[in-house]
Amino acid sequence: MNTLAAGDLSAFVGDTPDGGGRIELLVRGARCAGCLGKIERGVKAVAGVDEARLNLTTGKLTVQCADRRRADPARVIAAVQAAGYAAVLFDPKAALAQSDREGRELIMALGVAGFGAANAMMFTVPVWAGLFGQELGPGARTLMYWLSALVATPCALYAAQPFFRSAWASVRRGRANMDVPISIGVLLTLAVSFSETLQHGPHAYFDAAVTLLFLLLIGRYLDHRLRLKAQGAARDLLTIQAPVALRLDDHGGEHLTPAAQIVPGDRLAVMAGDRIPVDAVVLDGRCDLDNALISGESASVSVGPGDKVHAGALSLNGRLVLRALARSEDSTVAAIARLMEIGAQSRSAYVRLADKAAAVYVPVVHTLALAAFAGGWALGLSPREALLRAAAVLIVTCPCALGLAVPAVQITASGLLFRKGVLVKSGAALERLAEIDHVVLDKTGVITEGRPRLTGGHDDLLPLAAALARASNHPLARALAEAAGPGPTAAEAIETPGMGVEGLIDGQPSRIGRAAFVGGGAVPGDGAELWFVRGQAAPVRFTFADALRPEAAAVVRTFKARGLGVEILSGDVEAETARAAQAVGVESWRFGLTPQDKAAAVDALKARGLKVLMIGDGLNDAAALAKAHASMAPGSAVEASQNAADLVFCTGDLAAAPQAFDLARQARSRALENFGFSALYNLIAAPAAMFGLINPFIAAIAMSGSSLVVMLNALRLAWRGGTRP
C-alpha cells in the first residue's frame, strides 16, 4: 500500500448529518482491550479528529471530524500504523450501505415469539393439567384460552411477518416454498383456536402457533447469521485489495481515487507493487508486469512507453505513468464479467434441497388435511369436528423439523469450515458442492504456488547474487533472495526496470538480471532465468520454475479416491502445463486457454451431464468459476474470482478443497437424515391427527420433540469433526 503515503485522499471522507467528516477504515490485528485503547487514543490525538471508535467485532474504525476540511485520512492511517496495526480505507459509499436491517427484524421477531411462547404457555399449562383429570371447569378453561389468545395472537401475527412476506413472494411467482404451509398453518391454527374458544371447546392451539414460530425463527436467524458472516468476511478480503488508483492532475499533483471514478484519458501513476487499475497505454516509465492473474502465464512481461497494459496486471518494479483507455467497468474484465453474469443466472435456477422437500411436502400435507375434512364429514362427523381434524393435521405435521432440517446442518458445517479458514458464501453453495462429480483445476496459483522458486544455479555464488537480488521486488529476484536466506544487501544497488540490478559486491561492480543486461545469453532457455556476473568473471545462470504446491498431488489423489474425474485447464504454455499435470498425476489437461475457452470447456463438461467443481484464482478463471456447478478460489485470488466462487479458502492450503467437499457431503447426509426423520414423524403424526387422537398437549410435545431431534442430528457433524461420511 505504498500509494497511500502520497496523494490526496479526500475522496475517502464521507459526510455526517451535521456537516462534519467521517472516515471509515478496516483495522487488522486488533484483538484485545489494550489494542483498542492504543488505537483509539492514537487516532484521537491526530489534529482535527474529534471521535474515534473501533468496533472490535468487525474491525471497523469510524473516525468523526467536526470540520470536514480538516479530516485527513493519511494522518489517521499513519496513527494506526504507528500503534502497530494495518489499516485500509473503506470507500464511503460502500461502507454506508452496511447496515443489517434484516437481521434486526429477525431477532426482534424472535424476541416477540419467545415472549409470546413463554407467556401463552403460562395459560395453557393449567389446561394441559386439566386434560389429565385434574379439576378445571369449562369456564376456567375458556378464560385461560382467552388470555392465551390475548398474548399469542398479536405475537404470532408480528413474528410471522418474515414468513408471510416470503410465502407471498413465492406464491406470486406461482411456486410454493416452505413458508407457504407455515403461513397457512399459523393462520389456520389461530382461526380454528378462536372458533373453539368461542364455542367453549377443549381444542385450542394458541401456544402451538407461537411456539412453532419461535422454533422456526431460530432456524431462520441462524441461516441469516451464516450469510452475513460469509458476506462480511468476503468483503473484508476485497477491501484489502481495494481498487484505488493514483490520478495525476495537470500540475503533476497526485490524487488517490477509487478506480470506478477513472475516465478514459486520465493520466495515472502506478508504483512498484501496485496493480494496474484500468486498461491503459504506457506514457512513461518501464517495468516488468506480472500477468499471472489475468492470463495464467507464469513468466513476467517487460513493458515500456507505447505498450498497452491490462487492468489487473501487477507492476513488479519501477513506476509507470499511464493514460487510461477505458473505464473500470469497461476494462479487460468486461467480457469476463458478462460471462460471469450468464453463469450466475444459470446458477440461480438451482433448486435448493429445502425447496425440493417443500415441493413434495406442501401438496401431500394439504391433500391429507382436505381428506381429513371431507372423510370426517362423510363418515358422520359434524362439520366443526371435521374442520378441527383438518386443522390438527396441519398443525401436527408442522414443517418445524423440515424448516430446521437444512439451516441447522448448514450452520454447523459452515462453522466447522470457518474454523478451518474456508468461507462459505451461502447454504446453496454447500449443497451444490456435495453433488459434484468432476473437478477442474487451474494451474497457476492452484496446483502451483503462482510464484517462481529457484531450481538451478551455482550454490557458491548464490549468497553473492542474493545480495544484489535483495534490492529488487522482481519475483525472480525475490525467489533468489528467499533461497539464499537472510543476508546483506549489496552497496549502491540501482535497479533498471525491465533489465536488472547493478551494484557493488566486495568492491567489485556486479550485475544481475536479463541475459542482455548481464552479458550472458548463450544458453537457449525456455523457462525463467536470471544471469549474474561479478567483476570480470564469466556470467552464470540461475533458473526458476513455478513450484508445485506440496499438497497438490495428495489433493488430486484424494479427489480421485472419491471417484471424481480430475482435469487441468490452464492459460499457460504447453511445457509448463504438461510438467505440472504429470507431477500431480492428472492425465487430462489442456493448455493455452483464453478465459472464454475455459468457460466453454466447463460448458462442454456440463453438456455431458457432469457436475463440475472449478478451482481457480485468476481473472481468466472467473467466468468458468461462475459457470461451474460449484467453485472455490484461494484467498490470494483476484476480486472477480473471489466474487464468482462459492467458497474461498484463506489458509493458502489446497487441502481445504477435499476437506470442504467431504464436509459438504456429510452435511447433505445429515440433511437427508433429517428429512427422513421428519417424513417418519409425519407418517405417524398425520394419521393420528386424522383419527382425532391428538390433543393440544401431545401436539406441543411432538412439535418441539421433532425439532430437537433434528437439531441434535445436525450437531453430530461437529462432534464427528471432519471425518468421512
Ranges within 1-40 binding another protein (CB under 8 A): 32-33, 36-37
Q: How far is the CB of 390 from another protein (least distance, A)?
A: 32
Residues in Cβ contact with 640 at an 8 Å cutoff, skipping those fewer than 6 apart:
333, 336, 337, 340, 619, 622
Terminal Cα distance for the chain, rounded: 45
Residue 54 makes contact with another protein by CB under 8 A: yes
SS3 38: helix
Is there binding between residue 57 and another protein (CB under 8 A)?
yes
CB of 404 to another protein, least distance (A): 23
115 binds another protein (CB under 8 A): yes
- Of 50-58, 192-200, 520-528, 606-614, the segment contacting another protein by CB under 8 A is 50-58
The answer to the question of residue 136 lying near another protein (CB under 8 A) is no
Segment interacting with another protein (CB under 8 A) among 110-118, 216-224, 377-385, 544-552: 110-118
Is 442 designated active site?
yes
Between 33 and 538, CB nearer to another protein: 33
Among the listed ranges 112-120, 300-308, 478-486, 596-604, the one in contact with another protein (CB under 8 A) is 112-120
Q: How far apart are CA 369 and CA 389, in angstroms?
A: 8
Under rule CB under 8 A, residue 56 binds another protein = yes
CB of 649 to another protein, least distance (A): 24
Bridge partners of 63, per DSSP, are: 23, 52
With cell 488517490, the residue in question is: 256
Q: Specify the length of the chain in residues.
A: 725
Task: Check: CB of residue 549 under 8 Å from CB of residue 573.
Answer: no
Closer to another protein by CB, 207 or 431: give it: 207
Separation between Cα atoms, residue 470 and residue 535, nearest integer Å: 19
Q: In degrees, to the nearest 5, what angle opens at C-alpha 190 toward C-alphas 189 and 191?
A: 95
Residue in 1, 82, 118, 334 binding another protein, rule: CB under 8 A = 118
Contacting residue, 5, 45, 122, 351, with another protein by CB under 8 A: 122
- DSSP letter for each residue of 323-365: EE-S-GGGSTHHHHHHHHHHHHHHHHTPPPHHHHHHHHHHHHH
Q: Closest CB to another protein among 118 and 301?
A: 118
How many angstroms separate the CA atoms of 632 and 422, rounded?
A: 10
| 282-311 positions binding another protein, by CB under 8 A | none
240 binds another protein (CB under 8 A): no
Stretch that binds another protein, among 102-110, 415-423, 568-576, 700-708 (CB under 8 A): 102-110
Which residue, among 673, 628, 627, 636, has the nearest Cα to 656 in the 3D structure? 636
Taking the complex as a whole, the smallest distance from the CB of residue 407 to another protein amounts, in Å, to 20
Q: Which of 96, 140, 191, 683 binds another protein (CB under 8 A)?
A: 140
Figure out which of the listed residues 6, 107, 334, 600 binds another protein, where binding follows CB under 8 A. Answer: 107
Which residue's CB is nearer to another protein, number 151 or number 268? 151
- CB of residue 219 to another protein, shortest distance in Å: 19
> Who contacts 221 (Cβ-Cβ below 8 Å, separation ≥6)?
103, 106, 107, 110
Distances in whole angstroms, Cα of residue 160 to Cα of each of 157, 172, 406: 5, 18, 20
Minimum distance of another protein from residue 632's CB (angstroms): 29
Given the rule CB under 8 A, which of 55-63, 89-97, 291-299, 540-548 is the region that contacts another protein?
55-63
Nearer to another protein, 39 or 89 (CB): 39
The Cα-based distances of 649 to 149, 219, 444 in angstroms read 50, 26, 16
Letter for the amino acid at 196? Answer: E
Asked whether position 45 contacts another protein by CB under 8 A, the answer is no
Q: Does 384 bind another protein (CB under 8 A)?
A: no
In whole angstroms, give the CA distance from residue 124 to residue 119.
Answer: 9
**Least distance (Å) between residue 56 CB and another protein:** 3
Tell me, by CB under 8 A, how many residues bind another protein: 21
CB 388 within 8 Å of CB 191: no
Pick one of 28, 48, 78, 111: the residue that binds another protein (CB under 8 A): 111
Listed ranges 20-28, 51-59, 564-572, 690-698: which one lies at the site for another protein (CB under 8 A) = 51-59
Point out which span in 74-82, 106-114, 329-337, 340-348 binds another protein (CB under 8 A): 106-114
Report which of 612, 617, 641, 601 is spatially closest to residue 442, judged by C-alpha positions.
Answer: 617
- Catalytic residue (choose from 279, 442, 621, 662): 442
Q: Is 326 in the site for another protein (CB under 8 A)?
A: no
Q: Is 547 helix (H, G, I), strand (E, B) or coil?
A: strand
405 vs 408: CA distance, rounded Å? 6
DSSP assigned state of 445: I
Q: Assess 233 for contact with another protein (CB under 8 A).
A: no
**412 CB-near residues (< 8 Å, 6+ apart):** 667, 714, 715, 717, 718
Query: Residue 673 is which amino acid?
Result: E
| Closer CB to another protein, 143 or 335, in the complex | 143
Among 29, 45, 58, 284, binds another protein (CB under 8 A): 58
Q: Smallest distance from the beta carbon of 487 to another protein, in angstroms?
A: 41
Using the minimum distance from each CB to another protein, give the nearer residue, 101 or 724.
Answer: 101
Radius of gyration (Cα) for the chain, nearest Å?
32
Identity of the residue numbered 493: A
Nearer to another protein, 85 or 531 (CB): 85
Q: Does 242 bind another protein (CB under 8 A)?
A: no
Shortest separation between residue 57's beta carbon and another protein, angstroms: 5
Q: Does 228 bind another protein (CB under 8 A)?
A: no
Near another protein by CB under 8 A: residue from 112, 212, 540, 690: 112
Find the shortest distance in angstroms from Cβ 152 to another protein: 12
| H/E stretch holding 482 | helix 475-484
Compute the distance between CA of residue 676 and CA of residue 720 in angstroms, rounded to an integer: 20
Cell of 322: 499511464
268 and 247 Cβ atoms separated by less than 8 Å = yes
Stretch that binds another protein, among 54-62, 230-238, 408-416, 555-563 (CB under 8 A): 54-62
Provide, rounded to whole angstroms, the least separation between the CB of residue 166 and another protein: 22
Interface pattern 144-183 for another protein (x via CB under 8 A): ---x---x--------------------------------
Q: Which of 69, 93, 104, 200 binds another protein (CB under 8 A)?
A: 104
Q: Closest Cα partner for 44 from 10, 83, 18?
A: 83
Q: Using CA atoms, how far apart are residues 277 and 402, in angstroms rounded to an integer?
A: 48
Distance CA 450, CA 614 (A): 17
Q: Which of 3, 119, 496, 695 binds another protein (CB under 8 A)?
A: 119
Segment near another protein (CB under 8 A); pick from 113-121, 248-256, 296-304, 688-696: 113-121
Between CA 480 and CA 19 the distance in angstroms is 53
Rounded to whole angstroms, the Cα distance separating 272 from 496 reads: 13
In angstroms, what is the minimal distance from the CB of 135 to another protein? 11
8 versus 100: smaller Cβ distance to another protein? 100
Q: How far is the CB of 690 from another protein (least distance, A)?
A: 36
Q: Which is nearer to another protein, 151 or 208 (CB)?
A: 151
CA distances in angstroms from 379 to 258, 330, 386, 651, 691, listed in the order given: 74, 71, 10, 66, 11
From CA 486, how far away is CA 696, in angstroms rounded?
A: 76
Give me the residues that bind another protein (CB under 8 A), please. Answer: 32-33, 36-37, 54-58, 104, 107-108, 111-112, 115, 118-119, 122, 140, 147, 151
- Catalytic machinery residues: 442
